[in-house]
Amino acid sequence: MSKAIIIPDLAYTSPKGRRGGNSNGYKEMIARIKYLQYRNDADGHIPQEKELERWVDHGLGRNYRDIFNRCVALGSGSVLAWTWVISPSPDLLALVPQAERAALVVALTEDIVDSYYEVRGMEQPEYSLVLHDRVTNETKDTPAPEHQLHTHVVLPGTVSTVAGERVAFYNRSNKGHVQLLQDIATERFAVELDRRVGPEWHALRIEVESPALPEPELAALPPVDPQALSELDRWFSMRPAQRERDRERGFDIS
């Protein structure tokens, strides 16, 4: 089996939480997004400075309080929020020039989110995302630690349809939704690798073919919001990458 070129993962938080009850889900949710905002590892606290917010806002908020409140307002009876991880394979991302990697992972995540909801027949959702840089552990396949740039995405439990209605939104493996997300993520990352690296990356994944897409689909990813990019550049220039020990259930992508 070929090693995946990108791993999208998703989980949800119920208003009742993992163990049931009236408020567990809300406590779990706010703890999770605070962790994403303030931590790059289990030991260090990262202050959230004015004009240096970590979140890239697509309608859900630029800090954990706003994101939490919007999720409460837009949640369904069963789902308070969906939380995704989008993680390109480190060995393939390393083929991209270092100065382009952070912007690529952000833009790729935005493209995957928009494409997934479009295929599902929904309007573009409200969401916020944050970029993390995790240093992988040594294994027999990767004896040297690798930087694993990835994004965490928070989306509400409801979404607008093309007809203008707001409905509960579910991702169900038995209906092919998880596989659809994997297919879209793989397709979009393969397109970007073909464009930015060239065909030589296929030597690392001989089983993965370039997607046969119509020409309009091969257009470059839309530019990232310059303000968001500026903040990401400033963030990484001010704070070196740290090892992230992702202890949240459902977010272990090592």
For residue 29, the SS3 value is helix
Instruction: State the Cα–Cα distance between residues 84 and 152, nearest whole angstrom.
Output: 6
Lowest mean pLDDT among 4-18, 38-52, 189-203: 38-52
153 domain residue, yes or no: yes
pLDDT at 49: 56
Exposure b/e, 64-102, CB count within 10 A at least 16 = b: beebbebbbebbbeebbbbbbbbbbbbbbbeebeeeebb
Sheet holding 147-156, edge to edge: 6-13, 81-88, 147-156, 127-135, 56-58
Give me the mean pLDDT over the 120-134 stretch.
92
More reliable by pLDDT, 67 or 222: 67
More reliable by pLDDT, 139 or 205: 205
Q: Which two tokens stand for residue 54?
A: 């970590």
Taking Cα atoms as reference points, which of 186, 140, 178, 151 lies closest to residue 58? 151
pLDDT at 54: 84
For residue 229, the SS3 value is helix
170 domain residue, yes or no: yes
Residues in the chain, total: 254
Confidence band, pLDDT 50/70/90 cuts, at residue 101: very high
**Could you tell me the pTM of the whole model?**
0.78
254 domain residue, yes or no: no
Contacts made by residues 49-56, CB under 8 angstroms, sequence distance 24+: 51/231, 52/231, 52/234, 52/235, 52/238, 53/231, 54/130, 54/131, 54/235, 55/128, 55/129, 55/130, 56/106, 56/110, 56/128, 56/129, 56/130, 56/131, 56/224, 56/225, 56/228, 56/232
pLDDT at 206: 80
Give me the mean pLDDT over the 231-235 stretch.
44
Give me the mean pLDDT over the 225-244 stretch.
43
Q: Tell me what percent of the residues of the chain surpass a pLDDT of 70.
A: 69
CATH number of the domain to which 46 belongs: 3.30.930
Question: How many domains does the structure of the chain reveal?
Answer: 1
245 domain residue, yes or no: no
pLDDT at 123: 93
206 domain residue, yes or no: yes
111 domain residue, yes or no: yes
Domain that holds residue 182: 6-238
16 domain residue, yes or no: yes
253 domain residue, yes or no: no
pLDDT tens digits, 146-199: 778 999 999 999 999 888 889 999 999 999 999 999 999 999 999 999 999 999
